[in-house]
Chains A and B, each alone.
Chain A
Amino acid sequence: MTALDFPSPMDAAGELMHPAPPVIPHDSLGAGGPAAPAQVLARHHVTEHGDPNGPVLLLAHGFGAGQGAWGRLLPHFPRHRIITFDHAGSGATDIADFDHDRHGSLTGYAEDVLAICAALDLHQVTYVGHSVSSMIGVLAAAAEPDRFASLVLVAPSARYIDDPGSGYIGGFSYEDITELLTSLDSNYYAWSSAMAPVVMGTPDTPELGAELTKSFLGTHPDAARTFARAIFLSDTRAVLPRIAAPVLVLQCRHDALAPEAVGQSVATALPAGELVHLTATGHCPHVSAPAETAAAIHHHLLTRPERPGITELTPPTTQLPAPRQA
């Protein structure tokens, strides 16, 4: 038994049962085998911004958005090579590429992230993940630790559902989640129409390309359901202690999805985690307060500790995901 073999919190919830947090086999790039690099880049609409010779920032958007969500943050990093992309089922991706099995757990998205890293041959990556992409980054870094220089987790949660047994407060109850999965369907039209208007009117960032704006179409409602299920049934807490890289945790005020206690617990569980409280409110500081968010990231980039003994960290040996139960 490894640290990963803890009981699934959803066991009692019948149909909500979900495998223990998956960790990607180190050499795996997904069930379909490694896709050709060009195919990976096209599938995720991988886009580069900034200075091609600068240090690499890989930005991963959150649920219900696309890479366009990063538009207001980009101008703050002119000397970085910034890579943005759309998760499967999000942004402008082809819904046909969305695999309800593969993308039914966060592991699938983490595999996608690693595939993008491999396709671009990225190293010393500073990974910035918003919301669910925080834990996607954590899973990716656990699988390929040497790939990442550090992680920035924006409004992260390692587990959204309260865990009364351990006294953990995630902010959501079982009932909430059951309800959510239902309402995602019944609120189909609200989602469909609400996703688009979120595109930022960005008069201050004219360099935001038209293609980027176009890609901010949000999530396909059918994919959204599967994605939401993957997110809200995930529990990545046990993986956090295995992340040796420096990690910046950005916590907003009044975040209805990731309350302060949640960010605190993430930072605490990380061996090299640093918690920074933003004055920004809500769940999307990179959109609502890009300057403050950028400043925090810049500070982290300047002050992050060297990674001691990075090569001594061997990939975990027992990494098989638990068998799928649902």
Chain B
Amino acid sequence: MEWWQNSPCPQLVLDADAATVERANDTFWAWSGLREEDILGTSFARLLPVGDRILWSTHCLPKLESSGRVSEVSLQVIGAGGVRRAAFLTASRLPAAAPPPVPGLVETVDGDEAHPEAGQVLVALFGAAERRRYEEDLLETTRRAEASEARRAQAEAGLQHLAHHDPVTGLLNRRGLQVALLGLLTGNATAGATGHHPDTDEVVTSLGCPVVFFIDLDGFKAVNDAIGHAGGDTLLNTVAERLRTSVRAQALLARFAGDEFVIADHLATRDDIDALCQRLLAALAEPVVIAGVEVVVSASIGVARCADDPTGRLGETATRAESLLHRADAAMYQVKHGSRAGGAGGWAVHDPGAPDPAADRLRLLEQLRHAVTNGQLRLHYQPRIDLSDGSTSGVEALVRWAHPERGLLSPAHFIEAAESSGLIRELGAWVIDAAVAQTAAWNAAGRRLQVGVNVSARQLSDPALVGVVTAALARHGVPASQLVIEITETALMVDPEAAAANLQQLTDLGTLVAVDDFGTGYASLTYLRRFPVHELKIDQSFVAGVVVSPRDRAIVAGCIQLAHALGLVSVAEGVETSAQRDVLIDLGCQVVQGYFYGRPQSPDSLQP
């Protein structure tokens, strides 16, 4: 019937097996571009792309078989020229006893006998091009989102790796070590930043109880200075590689700081520990040739066993990890600076019963950091007397720490720790600022004094030093010429390049430079030419003997003459008696300071 032929939907009739195409309406021929002779009597599945053919065979047919109908299956039909047309397919089986649902099918247009039979399958298609495009867009968007998510995850993993590894050696860095060590302590290997695989045997005996080795290269800095940073990196890589080959595959290996490495592994016995230490030292002792230079590295190793942990195995994991590192560091420190002859090389296992200088030092530093920011530091000032007229021409600022428990501490108690930790920068900056502020106060009160401030080796090589001084002078409106930067010979020689640069800039600014403790440091006097120096402060150990020891007197005389020959001011420290004063006057010394004239004292009590 015509209306079936011209139905808005392309339609087909399949045989009772839903396999063969028996008829199709005009709408289908027009829609698909196919001709009757192309497909009548052939397989319907062949009109579908392979994927849809599978869909049809595995899903539509069984469903049609069992329920008599499938609805709105999204698929494609291959039309003329292989063009695919997206469509929704709905199909139903004509019920056996029912009259044909499409009356037009009974009387065919051209009178052939293609009567629809009960059991035949009627297929209706609904064009779905729009829907298909929409789905394709959606899919593409989904895929893009997945891809970008995957890239993000990858980037994140990369960042994580970067954050946990040392770029020079590829070993874990400090942070990576901390994470991995936590994993090791909890027996949870996946928490580690490396592929640590605990072996089942080990787990039984020592799960969560590793041994930590703290390895410090001896004299690395000198090597680094001698062969340059690139050479230093090569050396570090060589060391890292040797450590790697000395330990078991599952051990944690980290570069903790500059020349400090850490190994953590499950080792059961003291013999195992000693064997590993021997292996490590032997591996490191092999000379390394860098840029044609043979370098010999030695190391000090400190060992801490989890089993010795004073906090016990019940302690919080993070605390236990910290304690392990800390105790291994302490043991290393003991080896390096301890009683051993030669001072370096070898290993020690941390004894939890032994006093812990490293722990004390850490505690001290923590308190000192607190002290700097919380106003526990004081400056005391020791007068300097100009022997030409007996007047107080200046003072030396000396830092004191008003420790809440231990009372007023002199620099001997804390400066070395501050210097070695870098805390000296903040402390030094505070001292400079406070001294300049006091100078300004005296200026305002009409007392014009030169103020000497001690600057440490670390400060002296710190590029920030000039800025600190400039800022302090500017802030308090003090002329640079009132400030005397006091440095030791030793400090000058630590990083001569940086020191020279700093001192030159400070001198350009107008500040004066004094060499402190003169005569006790390097014998070479070349630095007196190299650095811009204005004063020599002769060490008090010579001054102390100047009356009784002809030798000391000769040294002091030599220093004074040297100073004058170079156009420098001669200053004698530690003057305690009038006899010493008299000798110094005889020798032509220009400035003196010491208990004879006045102890270091608070600015208020400083007598004019």
Interface residues of A (CB under 8 A from B): 62-65, 72, 131, 172, 176-177, 179-180, 183-191, 193-195, 197-198, 200-201, 228, 253-257, 281-284, 287-289
Interface residues of B in 412-462 (CB under 8 A from A): none
B58 touches A (CB below 8 Å): yes
Q: Is B74 in contact with A176, judged by CB distance below 8 angstroms? A: no
Which B residues are CB-close (under 8 A) to A188?
Answer: 135, 139
Q: Is A64 in contact with B55, judged by CB distance below 8 angstroms? A: yes
B198 touches A (CB below 8 Å): no
Q: Which of B56, B61, B73 is in CB contact (< 8 Å) with A281? A: B61
Q: Is B18 in contact with A282, judged by CB distance below 8 angstroms? A: yes
Given A190-B55, A190-B75, A201-B66, verify A284-B49 contact (CB < 8 Å): no
29 contacts between A and B (CB under 8 A): A62-B58, A63-B54, A64-B59, A65-B58, A176-B50, A179-B49, A179-B50, A180-B54, A183-B50, A187-B75, A188-B135, A188-B139, A189-B139, A190-B74, A190-B135, A195-B59, A197-B59, A198-B63, A253-B19, A256-B19, A256-B57, A257-B53, A282-B18, A282-B61, A282-B62, A283-B61, A284-B57, A284-B62, A288-B65
Q: Report the minimum CB–CB distance from A135 to chain B (whole Å).
A: 16
Given A189-B139, A193-B74, verify A256-B52 contact (CB < 8 Å): no
Which A residues are CB-close (under 8 A) to B63?
Answer: 197-198, 200
Q: Report the minimum CB–CB distance from B93 to chain A (whole Å).
A: 12
Q: Is B66 in contact with A183, judged by CB distance below 8 angstroms? A: no
Which B residues are CB-close (under 8 A) to A65?
Answer: 58
Q: How many residues of B contact A (CB 8 A)?
A: 35
Q: Report the minimum CB–CB distance from A88 to chain B (whole Å).
A: 18
Which B residues are CB-close (under 8 A) to A288?
Answer: 61-62, 65-66
Q: Report the minimum CB–CB distance from B376 to chain A (whole Å).
A: 58
Q: Of residues B51, B52, B58, B61, which shows the largest number of chain A Cβ atoms within 10 Å of its Cβ?
A: B58
B360 touches A (CB below 8 Å): no
Q: What are the interface flags for B60-74 relative to A under an 8 Å C-beta threshold, 1 for contact and 0 otherwise?
A: 111101110011011
Q: Report the minimum CB–CB distance from A152 to chain B (whole Å).
A: 18
Q: Is B139 in contact with A201, judged by CB distance below 8 angstroms? A: no
Q: What are the interface flags for B351-376 relative to A under an 8 Å C-beta threshold, 1 for contact and 0 otherwise?
A: 00000000000000000000000000
Q: Closest residue of chain B to A195, judged by CB?
A: B59
B528 touches A (CB below 8 Å): no
**Cα distance, A282 to B53, chains bound together (Å):** 11
Given A64-B55, A72-B66, A172-B50, verify A284-B139 contact (CB < 8 Å): no
Which B residues are CB-close (under 8 A) to A253?
Answer: 17, 19
Which B residues are CB-close (under 8 A) to A281?
Answer: 17-19, 61, 65
B35 touches A (CB below 8 Å): no
**Cα distance, A172 to B53, chains bound together (Å):** 11
Q: Closest residue of chain B to A189, judged by CB?
A: B135
Q: Report the minimum CB–CB distance from B369 to chain A (whole Å).
A: 48
B138 touches A (CB below 8 Å): yes
Given A62-B58, A256-B45, A283-B61, verify A190-B67 contact (CB < 8 Å): no
**Cα distance, A52 to B387, chains bound together (Å):** 114
Q: Closest residue of chain B to A183, judged by CB?
A: B51
Q: Is A198 in contact with B52, judged by CB distance below 8 angstroms? A: no
**Cα distance, A183 to B19, chains bound together (Å):** 22
Q: Is B53 in contact with A256, judged by CB distance below 8 angstroms? A: yes
Which B residues are CB-close (under 8 A) to A256?
Answer: 19, 43, 45-46, 53, 56-57
Q: Closest residue of chain B to A221, judged by CB?
A: B139
Q: Is A194 in contact with B18, judged by CB distance below 8 angstroms? A: no
Q: Is A284 in contact with B58, judged by CB distance below 8 angstroms? A: yes
B136 touches A (CB below 8 Å): yes
**Cα distance, A228 to B54, chains bound together (Å):** 10
Which A residues are CB-close (under 8 A) to B62?
Answer: 198, 200, 282, 284, 287-288
Given A186-B136, A200-B66, verify A180-B50 contact (CB < 8 Å): yes
**Cα distance, A171 to B270, chains bound together (Å):** 72
**Cα distance, A255 to B65, chains bound together (Å):** 14
**Cα distance, A265 to B507, chains bound together (Å):** 100
Which B residues are CB-close (under 8 A) to A176?
Answer: 50
Interface residues of B in 60-109 (CB under 8 A from A): 60-63, 65-67, 70-71, 73-76
Which B residues are CB-close (under 8 A) to A194?
Answer: 55, 59-60, 73-74
Q: Of residues A131, A254, A255, which shows the largest number of chain B Cβ atoms within 10 Å of its Cβ?
A: A254
**Cα distance, A195 to B76, chains bound together (Å):** 16
**Cα distance, A63 to B51, chains bound together (Å):** 12
Interface residues of B in 112-163 (CB under 8 A from A): 135-136, 138-139
Which B residues are CB-close (under 8 A) to A179?
Answer: 49-51
Q: Is B52 in contact with A187, judged by CB distance below 8 angstroms? A: yes
Q: Report the minimum CB–CB distance from B323 to chain A (whole Å).
A: 37
**Cα distance, A131 to B57, chains bound together (Å):** 11
Given A201-B66, A281-B18, verify A190-B57 contact (CB < 8 Å): no
**Cα distance, A228 to B73, chains bound together (Å):** 20
Q: Report the minimum CB–CB distance from B409 to chain A (whole Å).
A: 62
Q: Which of B43, B57, B74 is in CB contact (< 8 Å) with A189? A: B74
Q: Report the minimum CB–CB distance from B14 to chain A (whole Å).
A: 10
Q: Of residues A62, A72, A195, A284, which shows the largest number of chain B Cβ atoms within 10 Å of its Cβ?
A: A284
Which B residues are CB-close (under 8 A) to A184?
Answer: 51
Q: Closest residue of chain B to A180, judged by CB?
A: B50
Given A256-B56, A257-B54, A284-B57, verify A190-B65 contact (CB < 8 Å): no
Q: Is B67 in contact with A201, judged by CB distance below 8 angstroms? A: yes
Q: Of residues B49, B50, B51, B139, which shows the largest number of chain A Cβ atoms within 10 Å of its Cβ?
A: B50
Q: Report the minimum CB–CB distance from A296 to chain B (whole Å).
A: 17
Q: Closest residue of chain A to B143, judged by CB?
A: A185
